[in-house]
Amino acid sequence: MENRTSFFNTTSVVETKHESNGLPLFAKITITLMIIVSIVVTVGNSLVIAAIVKFERLRDITGVFIANLAIADLIIGASLPFQIVFFFYPSLEANKYSCLLRYLVISFACNASIYSLVCTVLDRYIAIIYPLHYYEIMTKRVAYIMVGLIWTVDVIFQSIPLFVVNDYDQSPFCLYEVVMDKWYRCANLVHGIVLAFIMFMLYMNIFLIVHKHVTRIQSEAIVQSESRQRQVAKQMNTSIAMVVLFFHISWLPFFLIQLTMLDVGQVTQTKVMVANFLVFLGIFNSVVNPFVYAWKNKQYRRAFRKLLGLSVRDEDSAVTAIA
């Protein structure tokens, strides 16, 4: 298309021409938030990965999925500077592949994060439903195969618009809702909603079973070692439950607004502005995960304090020591 421009440069929201330093106020605010989120996501998830690498006790099967989730979130943080580049070089939107990659890179990282979270919940579900056969079903080999599938499927799915399906040549703007094919966007959206629903149902089942176990523990005499094992397992289940909760809070609003824009005719300036805010809310989910582990899981909290050179508190030492 001739005279391809940025969608936002045609709106009054960011059209204030360039100020003395070349960027409107809206762009300055967005860039500042992206930089802050990128730094926090990168530091937080690097800390999770470093803890799992350094402390053997954290390198269990669940740790494989948590590390993979942290890597996916780390990619999200690392991809934000690429988004910022488009504010300074809007001419990149005139290049088909840089325009498509603007959305595919962040979509790739977000989907990898979702897949990793599903595997983490599935791991906890198997541990709760089949506790006696857990280590037969969920071996490290199985965990690594699942992780490999996550990245293989994600790479294939996100590569489709680059080589086969996209509407870039027919679109006047470099905008996700118009450069991506309707059916591709629909598939991306539906599978996100389906995975969110699966996670919710799995964790509801986990919650009911754990509640039943807690009731039994309170009514029976349980030996101390078993009680401590259950305490550690409960902390991990609680951590992942919080991660799942924040995932739904962060991403479901974006999924819902995208449902209203499946047809290009339904795309309006207001909806695009709301969708951009909501996808930023979804990205913020990657900030939350490391803090959840530090808040709700004593093993990770203890590991983080050691990595940062802080003293380990007595309450954290009560849990089995990390090698």
Which CATH number does the domain housing residue 194 bear? Answer: 1.20.1070.10
**pLDDT at residue 144 greater than cutoff 60:** yes
Domain contains 128:
yes
Lowest-pLDDT range of 16-20, 87-91, 153-157: 16-20
Instruction: Give the chain's domain count.
Output: 1
**What residues contact 187, with CB distance under 8 A and at least 6 apart?**
none
- 306 within a domain of the structure (yes/no): yes
Considering the domain boundaries, does residue 2 fall inside one? no
In a domain, 114, yes or no: yes
Among 24-28, 77-81, 109-113, 311-315, whose mean pLDDT is lowest?
Answer: 311-315
Which pLDDT does position 216 carry in this prediction? Answer: 62
**pLDDT tens track for 92-126:** 888 999 999 988 988 898 889 889 888 888 888 89
User: CA dihedral defined by 90, 280, 162, 198, rounded to 10 degrees?
Assistant: -170
pLDDT the model gives residue 49: 93
Mind listing the pLDDT tens digit for each residue in 39-98? 999 999 999 999 999 998 888 898 899 899 899 999 989 888 988 898 888 888 889 999
Does residue 1 lie in a domain region?
no
Note whether residue 75 is domain-resident.
yes
Of 176, 159, 147, the C-alpha closest to 6 is: 176
State the residue range of the domain holding 141: 8-317
Position 66, amino acid: I
Per cent of the chain over pLDDT 90 is: 18
pLDDT for the residue 232 = 52
Does residue 322 form part of some domain? no
* Overall residue count recorded for the chain in this entry: 323
Say whether pLDDT at 273 is over 60: yes
252 assigned to some structural domain: yes
Of 291, 299, 289, 287, the closest CA to residue 235 belongs to 299
Distance of alpha carbon 1 from alpha carbon 171, whole angstroms: 7
The pLDDT of residue 236 = 59
pTM for the model = 0.79
Which of 80-89, 139-148, 231-240, 310-319 has the highest mean predicted lDDT (pLDDT)? 139-148
Residue 16 has pLDDT above 50, yes or no: no
Query: By mean pLDDT, which of 165-174, 226-235, 247-256 is the weakest?
Result: 226-235
In Å, how far are 153, 165, 184, 221, 270 from 71, measured between CA atoms?
16, 28, 25, 42, 33
